[in-house]
Amino acid sequence: MTTTDEALRTAGLRATRQRLSVLESLRERPDAVTAQDLHAELRGAGEPIGLTTVYRTLTALAGAGFLDTFDRDGEQAFRRCGEVHHHHLVCETCNRVEELSGDDVERWVSQAATRHGFEVTGHRADIFGICAACR
């Protein structure tokens, strides 16, 4: 049983060829990708899949917590993410994303929220920069 299958099962989605190809493509990808780009890439690789399905699959997986979403210049970008909560270090040149553990951040979040009387529902902390390879 592959992790790919598990993800679909957990999300309550049937394992269709299209969804498997999306997950497979996302699996080892280090950078975030948009629905449009992923669709073009899959089509280019000969995988039969419609843009609508790519959108629906990515949205469903993100909703189930398997993907993180970024906003890239007005477009949604998606990336597979680990099980535990974390943050991102994004290279603005190559779009590569590295995951960061965020203990420090978690602490800051709860303290700041408490101080302002907020009930926390979520947070996001990302760092943007140029990675070593791109410099």
Write the interaction track for a copy of itself spanning residues 4-43; mark x where CB under 8 A is met and - where it is not: ----------------------------------------
Provide the greatest CA pair distance for the chain.
Answer: 54
Q: How far is the CB of 27 from a copy of itself (least distance, A)?
A: 22
- How far CA 44 is from CA of 39, 49, 53, 89, 97, in Å, comes to 8, 10, 16, 29, 24
- The sign of the dihedral angle between the CA atoms of 113, 108, 72, 49 is negative
Q: Which residue lies nearer to DNA by CB, 13 or 131? A: 13
63 or 129: whose CB is closer to a copy of itself? 129
DSSP state of 80: E
Distance in Å, CB of 1 to a copy of itself, minimum? 33
Among the listed residues 58, 62, 71, 72, the one whose alpha carbon sits nearest the alpha carbon of residue 49: 58
- Contact residue for a copy of itself among 1, 44, 82, 135 (CB under 8 A): 135
Q: Which residues bind DNA (CB under 7 A)?
A: 13-19, 34-36, 48-53, 55-57, 59, 74-76
- Residue carrying the six token digits 């410099």: 135
Q: Are the C-beta atoms of residues 100 and 87 closer than 8 Å to each other?
A: yes
In the numeric block, the tokens 């994004």 are attached to 90
Contacted entry of a copy of itself, DNA, none for residue 59, CB cut-off 5 to 8 Å set by kind: DNA
Binding mask 90-119 for a copy of itself (x = CB under 8 A): -xx-----x-x-x-xx-xxx--xx--xxxx
